[in-house]
Amino acid sequence: MKTMTVITFDGIEYTCRIVKDNQGEDQYIGSLALLDAMHPGSFDKSYEVFVGMEAQYIYEDFFFYTEEENLLLPDDKLIEILHESNPNWF
């Protein structure tokens, strides 16, 4: 069952997913478009700047960010993709 939600940031709505990790806990998965809106640029140590405190708080609530099309997949397919980068969690 797909659990989808929408988060509004800077006046734009972004689709997000809630999936269970391997411990049965809910994990929020956001789109890369949301991540780019909250944190433009690189995540290297010389440039760790969010566009504001709201963006930083939202970022901390999410476990992972992925391509928008992945958020439309059934849970099992999305979890397969998440497992590739996070084998200890999914």
Q: Read off the pLDDT of residues 1-18 as tens digits, 9 standing for 90 and up.
A: 578 889 999 999 999 999
Residue 16 lies in a domain: yes
pLDDT in tens, 36-86: 999 876 666 555 677 788 988 898 899 999 999 999 999 999 999 999 998
- Model confidence pTM above 0.95: no
The domain total for the chain is 1
pLDDT at site 47: 54
Residue 90 lies in a domain: no
Residue 36 lies in a domain: yes
Contacts of residue 51, Cβ cutoff 8 Å, sequence gap at least 6: 10, 37, 38, 39, 40
pLDDT at site 3: 87
Residue 59 lies in a domain: yes
| Residues spanned by the domain of 63 | 4-85
pLDDT at site 79: 94
The one-character DSSP state at 68 is G
Residue 75 lies in a domain: yes
**Cα(73)–Cα(75) distance, rounded to whole angstroms?**
6
